[in-house]
Structure 1
Amino acid sequence: MSARRQPSEERLLAFAAGTLSAPESVVVATHLALRPQTRAWTALAEAVGGAVLDDVEPSTLDPDALDLTLARLDAPEPPPIAASTGRTDPSLPAPLALFDLGPWRWLGPGVHVRDVLGPRDGDCRVILLRIAPGQSAPRHTHSGVELTCVIEGAYATEDGVFSPGDFEEADPSITHQPRVVSAEPCLCVAALDGQIALPGWLGRVLAPFVRL
Structure 2
Amino acid sequence: MMPRHHLDAATLVSHAAGALSPAMAAVATTHLEGCAHCRSQLAEAEHVGGLLLLQQQPAAVSPRAAALRSDILARLQQPVPAPAEPAPLPAHPPTDALPRALQPYFGRSWKALRWRWVAPGVHMIRAPETAGDTLVLLKIAPGKSMPLHSHQGSELTQILQGAYDDALGHFGPGDMADLDSEIEHQPIVSPGVPCICVAALDGPLKFNGWLARWMQPMVGL
Q: TM-score by structure 1 length?
A: 0.75
User: SS of 1:149's equivalent?
Assistant: strand
Contact 1:103–1:115 (CA under 8 A) maintained in structure 2: no
User: SS of 2:199's equivalent?
Assistant: strand
Match of 1:96 in 2: 102
Contact 1:90–1:97 (CA under 8 A) maintained in structure 2: no
Q: In 2, Cα distance between the equivalents of 1:148 and 1:59?
A: 44
Match of 1:56 in 2: 56
Task: State the AA in 2 paired with 1:172.
Answer: S
Give runs of aligned pairs for residues 38-187 of structure 1, distance below 5 A.
38-58=38-58, 91-100=97-106, 103-118=114-129, 120-122=130-132, 124-187=133-196
Aligned-residue CA RMSD (Å): 2.3
Contact 1:150–1:167 (CA under 8 A) maintained in structure 2: yes
Match of 1:206 in 2: 215
Q: In 2, Cα distance between the equivalents of 1:204 and 1:48?
A: 44
> C-alpha deviations, 1:161-193, integer Å up to 9, x for none?
101111112233322221111411111111112
Gaps of 5+ in 2: 61-94, 108-112
- When residues 59 and 109 of structure 1 are mapped into structure 2, their CA distance, relative to the original with a 3 A threshold, is farther
Q: TM-score by structure 2 length?
A: 0.72
Q: In 2, Cα distance between the equivalents of 1:154 and 1:20?
A: 26
Matched pairs, number: 179
User: SS of 2:127's equivalent?
Assistant: strand
> C-alpha deviations, 1:20-64, integer Å up to 9, x for none?
22211111111111213310110111111222222222367xxxx
Q: Offset at 1:103?
A: 4.2
Q: In 1, Cα distance between the equivalents of 2:187 and 2:30?
A: 20
Q: In 1, Cα distance between the equivalents of 2:200 and 2:157?
A: 7
User: SS of 2:128's equivalent?
Assistant: strand
